[in-house]
Structures are given as structure tokens and as C-alpha cells.
Amino acid sequence: MFGSPSDMTLVKQALQGKNESWDRLIRRYESKIYNFALRMTGNREDALDLVQEVFLSVYRNLDRYGQQAKFSSWIFTIASHRATDFYRRKKAVDSLDEPELLDAGGGNSPYDQVLRRQSNQEVLRLLHQLTPEQRLVVELKYFQEQTFEEMSTHTGIPTNTLKSRLYAALRKLKSLPEVVSA
């Protein structure tokens, strides 16, 4: 009764056209999705585009959401698919550029921002060495801490393929001197 309403409650209210519930639902997950998108795309502008695509897709499919899966899992399933689509489109236009964080953003003192930017920049540079498919596997395994079964459910990719991609990612990083020497 008290405290914040559950995801399911917010979903139902959003389906009834209650804008506040939809806004609340977005704010609950936007940070996670945005940081996921940032790691996947490597820059803030594309990340925000991807976030909008994900939530648009969530909104359009909200009536199909059932309680069989947690909302957080469901939204990440959509995010994974949208990220894959994003790479397909991006590949058709141009190759992905160097990861670029134009400004730190995100609050706190300028010193905190600089520290966070440097730290995150290194992570982005590391992820950028991988292909999009490998990056998605690494993201889901190390950043989302999912099992291969969960990853397979969310992405629709067989577990053996996921394992092969993860192994290929590790081998690729092993071959890079800056990764080994760091």
C-alpha cells in the first residue's frame, strides 16, 4: 500500500493512459538502459537515441508484457534487440567511430566528473576493441551478470554461440598489447 508501486502496477496504469505512471516507469529504468546503451554505442548521442528507441519499443509492446518475466528482464531483452538493430543500421551507414564522451555530465563536482569520465572512457576503449556481437555478450555477462541461459533467453541466440563469442572476445583482447600490459 505504501512505498513505491510495483512495475506491474505502473504498467497497468500506463496502459490505462496514466502519463504519470509511464513517466515513473521510465525514470525507474532509464539510467540502467542509458548506461547499457552508452557502453554498447560508445558515445552519448547514439546512447540517447538508443534509449529513446528502447522506450518507444517498450511503450508499443507494453500490452504484450506478461508477468512470466520480470519487467527488468523484459526491458533488457528489448534493449538487446534494439542494440543489435542499431548496429545493423550503423554498419550500413558507416563504421563505428572511436568511443567519444564529449563531456562528463551526470552531476557531482567537476573533479568527480573527470574521474568518472576517465574511468568510463577506459572501459569504453576496452569494449570498443570488440565486434558488436562480442560486445553484447561481454555486456550481458560481465556488466549485467547474466548466466548463459538468461542471455540466450533474452537475445534468442543459442548458448553455444554465446560461449563461442565470449571466448572469441577474450582471445581478441588477449592479442592486444595494451590490454595485456595494463
Partner 1 sequence: MLDPEVQKVVEEEARRNGDDPAELEQISARLRDAAQAWQDEGTPPWPRLPMATSTNPSTPRWFTQWLPAFLCILMFALLVGQSRVISDAGGWRIEFGAPAAATETATTTTPEQTTDPDTITLTRAELADYLDQRFAEQNKRMLVEFRKGLSDYHENQETYLTSLFEFQKNEISNDRARDMERLVNNWQRQRLTDLDNIEDRMAFLVDQQSLNNDTLYDLANAVQRAPSDD
Binding residues vs partner 1 (CB under 8 A): 14, 17, 19, 22-23, 26-27, 30-32, 34-35, 38-39, 44, 48, 51-52, 55-56, 59-60, 100, 102-107, 116, 119-120, 122-123, 126, 138, 141-143, 147-148, 163-164, 166-167, 170-171, 173-174, 179-180, 182
3-state secondary structure the chain: CCCCCCHHHHHHHHHCCCHHHHHHHHHHHHHHHHHHHHHHHCEHHHHHHHHHHHHHHHHHCHHHCCCCCCHHHHHHHHHHHHHHHHHHHHHHHCCCCCCECCCCCCCCCHHHHHHHHHHHHHHHHHHHCCCHHHHHHHHHHHHCCCCHHHHHHHHCCCHHHHHHHHHHHHHHHHCCHHHHHC
* Distance in Å, CB of 55 to partner 1, minimum: 6
CB-wise, 87 or 124, nearer to partner 1?
124
CB-wise, 48 or 69, nearer to partner 1?
48
* Distance in Å, CB of 122 to partner 1, minimum: 7
Task: State how far the Cα of 131 lies from the Cα of 138, in Å rounded to an integer.
Answer: 10
* Distance in Å, CB of 27 to partner 1, minimum: 8
Identify residue 112 by its one-letter amino acid code.
D
CB-wise, 91 or 158, nearer to partner 1?
158
Q: Backbone phi, then psi, for 69, in 5-degree steps?
A: -125, 155
* Distance in Å, CB of 102 to partner 1, minimum: 6
* Distance in Å, CB of 171 to partner 1, minimum: 7
